[in-house]
Amino acid sequence: MSATVQRFLDPAVLGAISGLDLVAKTVVDGFVAGLHRSADFGFSQDFAEYRAYAPGDDLRHVDWNVFARTERAYLKRYRGETNSLLTVLLDASNSMSYASHAVKKIDYARYIAASLLYLAIRKQRDAAGLVVFDDEVRSFVRPSTRHGQLQRLLAALELAEPRARTRFEAPLEHLRGFLRRRGIIVILSDLYEPPDSVIRAIEPLRYRGNEVVLFHLLDPGELKPQIGASAVLVDLESATRFPVTAEYAAGRYRERISRHIESLRVAARGAGLAYQLLVTDQPLDAALREYLTVRQGRD
């Protein structure tokens, strides 16, 4: 991927762009341009094959030119034309408002969500929906391919400001009642809960044939906290505060959060979930690449 394209995936650069639609278009166009028509991934407008018509097939996909020459009905199929369904679950709890640099975790999550939704609707012709949650479902946009769906989704993203705490059980329980069709579920969260609890809440989504992608968003300041000699840390969700030492932050804390990440990774794979750690000072292409990989596996 060229440096110019990479530049459009930099979250710091995206932070200067107003409007999630423009952010999404910038990210996806830049990402697609960098792929150079890779054979790994197919988009809906790329021709794939002809298939013999079978009763029940949509007549709109019959290639009538071929039928005129051969008097046989063939369906024209395109790559990626699987009519997949993408549902993005965005964690909008207070912990997502943390930032040790220019881009908050919630902003980074919105960039990814917008990019994925743009990619699904505009490039894949997939139905896409959005669930914004914290300790409950705050907003829900049903997956659809209707005209104006992308604008509705981006508007919901714009309104997703962090508040409250994270709880996976209640919102996912609520979500299971709405998800009738199989599809891809992308979860964007910092996952500040015990790994067992997270996997236990998410795993049921997999039972219905959904592909679940777990994007674990962390700020670089959460991986390597820079704390002075004397500091009192305040929990953004619980408002709990207590003094910490720099020695602990540089030692014991790093061990514990590394162990937490590794536990999540192992538990997710054990449950058949795709897991990807995203650090908010890194480009967005890792998320897009992970999504396309998962979608490719569904074809």
Partner 1 sequence: MGFIAPAFLAGALAVGLPLYLHLLRRHRSEALPFSSLMFFEPREESAVRRRRLRYWLLLALRLAVVLLAALAFAQPYVMRLAAGAAPARLEVLAIDDSFSMRAGTRLADAKRAALALLAHKPAGESAQVLALSSEVSAVTQATRDPSALRAAVQSIGPTDSRSSFAALAAAARSLAENASAPIELHLFSDLQRTSMPPSFAEMALPAGVTLVLHAVGRPAEPNWAVESVSAPGEVWNPRDARIQAVIAGYGTPAAWKTVSLVVNGRTVATRRIDVPSSGRAAVEFDSLELPHGFSRCAVRIDSADALPDDDEYRFTVERSDPRPGLLIHEAADGRSPLYFATALAAAAPSAFVLDTLTVQQAAQVDPSSYSFVVLSDVGSVPGGLAGRLREYVGRGGSVLVTLGTAAAQQGQVPVFGGALRTSHLYAREPEGFVSVGAADTAYPAVGQPSEWESVKFFYAAGLEGTDADGTHARVALRLADGTPLLIERSLGEGRVVLLASGFDNLTNDLPLHPVFVAFVDRTIRYLTGTEGRSSARVVDDFVALRAGEDRGLGVEVVDPEGRRPLSLQASASAQWLQLAHAGYYELRFANGREDLIAVNPDRHESDLAPMAPDVLALWRGTPGAVSSSAAAPRATAPGAAAGPEDTPAAHSLWWYVMLLLLLAALAESAAGSRYLGTPREGP
Residues in touch with partner 1 (CB under 8 A): 95-98, 105, 190, 192, 219, 222, 224-225, 227-238, 240-254, 256-257, 260
What is the identity of the amino acid at 242? F
Q: Report the nearest approach of partner 1 to the CB of residue 243 (Å).
A: 5
Q: What is the largest CA-CA distance in the chain?
A: 82
Look at residues 163, 135, 119, 291 and name the one whose alpha carbon lies nearest to residue 215.
Answer: 291
The two beta strands, 47-52 and 74-78, are antiparallel
Nearer to partner 1, 89 or 218 (CB): 218
Nearer to partner 1, 48 or 244 (CB): 244
Q: Report the nearest approach of partner 1 to the CB of residue 265 (Å).
A: 16
For 48, 67, 77, 79, 162, the CA distances from 63, given in Å and listed in that order, are 13, 6, 10, 16, 50
Calpha distance 166→237 (Å, rounded): 8
Q: Report the nearest approach of partner 1 to the CB of residue 192 (Å).
A: 4
Token pair recorded at residue 167: 């709880």
Q: Report the nearest approach of partner 1 to the CB of residue 267 (Å).
A: 16
Nearer to partner 1, 35 or 261 (CB): 261
Nearer to partner 1, 245 or 293 (CB): 245
Distance between the two ends of the chain, CA-based, in angstroms?
25
Token pair recorded at residue 28: 């996806």
Q: Report the nearest approach of partner 1 to the CB of residue 232 (Å).
A: 5
Nearer to partner 1, 224 or 269 (CB): 224
